[in-house]
């Protein structure tokens, strides 16, 4: 058995059931609330909150992506645009699917900061070259749903309840003062912490694949890459996409261009911003001096 299997919840294992019923469409009360919100009719957000408080949204909605891929998303969450799951990260996914589809060998997707698996589901749905998925998620609530969503994929997939960084040990998830949402939590090293942390290079991941590595770890992107340099350099080709978030750059002091520089030391690369692919990235200027928005996806493709 491969070394990494013992450290994860693989597809087919039993995970605690949250007790939510799975439905195949938005409940009527949620459709009404969304209609009111889009139309500017007062009471739409109040209706949604009332439905949530009364337990009417204690459901999992099974969305169907192209090629029959399903993903279950909690109806009571504010973290997803339930009215546009099909359009999730459209520019990024179109770019990556086109790039990955050109490869002549099977692809291993490393989904770092996988949450409940929405990115993995979309990539498998849009690109037949992806033959295997290994998803990393330290938050136990998201991890529970991630495992079940990976079971819906038609490829070999496994979820690992850990964070990835440039060290092996433990840490804890902390929230910035301005945002208590689970999606904003970042990793802080802590001896004896309740979050397992590992370098990807030390996990004994399966060989023989080209790699697509997605990193969305709230400011820990550079550390994740530093802990995966051996894996990336030993791959015949890698595609790395990572989030550049203005608020995280302010918190950490790490410019996203440091990640570009590190990857280009491994192998010559091309790079682009998914949301603005026609704009060149100037390596001599701070990233957010060049791009005025708050959140971007930077794609790096090895030559």
- Does some domain include residue 16? no
Region of poorest pLDDT, from 173-177, 197-201, 297-301: 173-177
**Got the DSSP string for 224-293?**
HHHTTHHHHHHSS-EEEEEEEEHHHHHHH---THHHHHHHHHHS-EEEEETTSTTSPP-TTS-HHHH--S
Are residues 286 and 146 part of one domain? yes
- Give the residue numbers spanning the domain of 52: 21-83
Tell me, yes or no, whether 223 and 241 share the same domain: yes
- 185 and 229 belong to one structural domain: yes
Please, which pLDDT band fits residue 2 given cuts at 50, 70 and 90?
very low
Residues 93 and 241 in one domain: yes
Q: Is the pLDDT of residue 157 over 80?
A: yes
pLDDT above 90 as % of the chain: 83
Per the CB < 8 A criterion, the answer to whether 60 and 82 are in contact is no
Report pLDDT digits (tens) over 254-288: 999 999 999 999 999 999 999 999 999 999 999 99
Question: How crowded is residue 171: how many other Cβ atoms within 10 Å of its Cβ?
Answer: 23
Long-range Cβ contact pairs of 18-21 (< 8 A, separation 24 or more): 18/144, 18/145, 19/58, 20/58, 20/59, 20/60, 20/74, 21/58, 21/59, 21/60
- Segment 79-131, tens digit of pLDDT: 899 988 999 999 999 999 999 988 888 999 999 999 999 999 999 999 999 99
**pLDDT score of 180:** 66
**Quick one: what percent of the chain has pLDDT higher than 70?**
93
5-19, 155-169, 200-214, 245-259, range with the lowest pLDDT? 5-19
122 with 246, same domain: the answer is: yes
Query: pLDDT confidence of 153, banded at 50, 70, 90?
Result: very high
Helices (H) and strands (E) in the chain, counts: 10, 15
pLDDT at position 10: 42
Strand, coil or helix: what is 222? helix
Give the chain's domain count: 2
Q: How far is CA 202 from CA 18, 38, 169, 174, 237, in A?
A: 32, 48, 12, 25, 19
**Tokens representing residue 43 in the block:** 């009471």
Whether residue 145 is found in the same domain as residue 230: yes
Question: Looking at residue 107, which CATH number applies to its domain?
Answer: 3.40.50.150
Average pLDDT, integer, range 130-149: 95
Q: Show the tokens assigned to 21.
A: 């019923």
pLDDT at 224 (0 to 100): 98
Average pLDDT for 147-168 = 97
Report whether pLDDT(234) > 90.
yes
- Note the pLDDT tens digit of each residue in 9-67: 444 333 344 568 999 999 999 999 999 999 999 999 999 999 999 999 999 999 999 99
What's the mean per-residue pLDDT of the chain? 91
Q: Judge if 101 and 79 occupy the same domain.
A: no
Are 177 and 236 members of one domain?
yes
């Amino acid at each position: 058995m491969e070394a990494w299997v013992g450290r994860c919840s693989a597809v087919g294992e039993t995970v605690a059931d949250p007790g939510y019923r799975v439905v195949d469409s938005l409940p009527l009360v949620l459709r009404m609330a969304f209609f009111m919100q889009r139309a500017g009719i007062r009471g739409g957000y109040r209706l949604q909150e009332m439905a949530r408080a009364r337990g009417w949204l204690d459901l999992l909605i099974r969305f169907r992506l192209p090629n029959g891929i399903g993903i279950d998303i909690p109806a009571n969450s504010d973290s997803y645009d339930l009215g546009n799951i099909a359009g999730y990260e459209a520019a990024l996914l179109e770019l990556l699917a086109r790039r990955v589809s050109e490869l002549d060998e099977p692809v291993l997707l490393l989904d770092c900061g996988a949450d409940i698996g929405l990115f993995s589901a979309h990539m498998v749905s849009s690109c037949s070259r992806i033959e295997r998925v290994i998803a990393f998620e330290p938050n136990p609530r998201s991890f529970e749903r991630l495992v079940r969503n990976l079971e819906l994929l038609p490829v070999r997939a496994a979820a690992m309840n850990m964070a990835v960084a440039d060290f092996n040990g433990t840490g804890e998830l902390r929230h910035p003062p301005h945002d208590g949402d689970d999606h904003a939590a970042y990793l802080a090293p802590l001896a004896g912490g309740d979050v397992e942390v590992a370098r990807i290079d030390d996990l004994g991941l399966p060989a023989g694949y080209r790699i697509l590595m997605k990193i969305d770890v709230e400011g820990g992107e550079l550390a994740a890459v530093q802990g995966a340099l051996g894996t990336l350099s030993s791959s015949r080709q890698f595609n790395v996409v990572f989030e550049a978030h203005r608020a995280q750059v302010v918190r950490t002091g790490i410019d996203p261009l440091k990640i570009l520089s590190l990857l280009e030391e491994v192998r010559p690369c091309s790079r682009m911003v998914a949301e603005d692919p026609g704009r060149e990235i100037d390596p001599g200027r701070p990233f957010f001096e060049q791009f005025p928005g708050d959140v971007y996806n930077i794609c790096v493709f090895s030559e």
